[in-house]
Amino acid sequence: MTRMVGWCAGMPEQKTILVTGTSTGIGHAAAIHFAERGWNVLAGSRHPEKLHFIQERITPIGIDVNSIESVDRCFADERVKKIDCLVNNAGYGLLLPFEDTPPEEIERMFRTNVFGLMEVSRRAAKLFREKRAGTIINISSVLGRIGAPWYSVYCASKFAVEGFSESLSHELRPFGVHVKIVEPSGTQTGFHHIAYDTEKFPITQDYRARYETKRNDHDRGVNRYDTPESVAAVIWQAATDGAWKLRYPLRQAKQAALARRLLGEEGLWRKLLKKFGSL
């Protein structure tokens, strides 16, 4: 068996990872990916009793990132105290014009995508700092790099994750703790079913035509999106490569970074305006 290298070099082969948001999509695929490669996986979910994995190395565990009490209970578990890696995957999207997004929806999204992620990271940071080893992987998005219309609140939450992760990486590196960001592109998950479930929200008439164009564009292009398994493979790379590397972009995120470098800020901006029908 090939020996894994990286920050875990010299430690036992038996690794343990906690992944939040494993009910579906990227989190579910990541749990399977790590279990199939010999890691013990604590599959975090608000409803662990509903999780069904066939892999013996996957153990469902309760964690609701919106509840401080739930996060505390999770990290009081002796199994969690032994983790080598945390993947903050829990989160969701919302496709609405900002003007039509109710304040309570903004607060709800930030509680899950940002504040919940921070509270889980706070406890993992203490655990890993004391052990002088460990990796925190935060799942961001290509929309943590560039703004897109109708995703203003989601973009804001992922921009926050990017800045938080970058700062935290500086704080924890002296203790041998890695902080990494995985930036998925459009992915074939239930994300868009939730993000586009907006019929209960009235859309201002001036926005409606371009808003519907964006929804239709998604419906036509979803088959070309990345698979959850491809994102899981990048999470695996981030967890095991031992590199002091911060960002792990997938396809569209790589393209966005390259376009910004080649076109400059104004050139990229005009390209996006045309893409999203603003010009």
CA 196-113-128 angle, 5° bins: 150
* Catalytic-role residue among 45, 121, 158, 185: 158
Q: Three-state DSSP class for 42?
A: strand
Whether 140 is catalytic = yes
* Catalytic-role residue among 154, 211, 225, 248: 154
* Catalytic-role residue among 23, 140, 157, 185: 140
Which among 12, 15, 1 is positioned nearest to 236, based on CA atoms?
15
* Helices 117-131 and 68-76, axial angle in degrees (round to 10): 30
Sheet of 16-19, strand order: 58-62, 40-45, 16-19, 85-88, 134-139, 177-183, 247-249
User: Do residues 119 and 163 touch, judged by C-beta distance below 8 A?
Assistant: no
CA–CA dist 264, 142 (Å, integer): 17
Whether 131 is catalytic = no
Whether 151 is catalytic = no
Residues known to be catalytic: 140, 154, 158
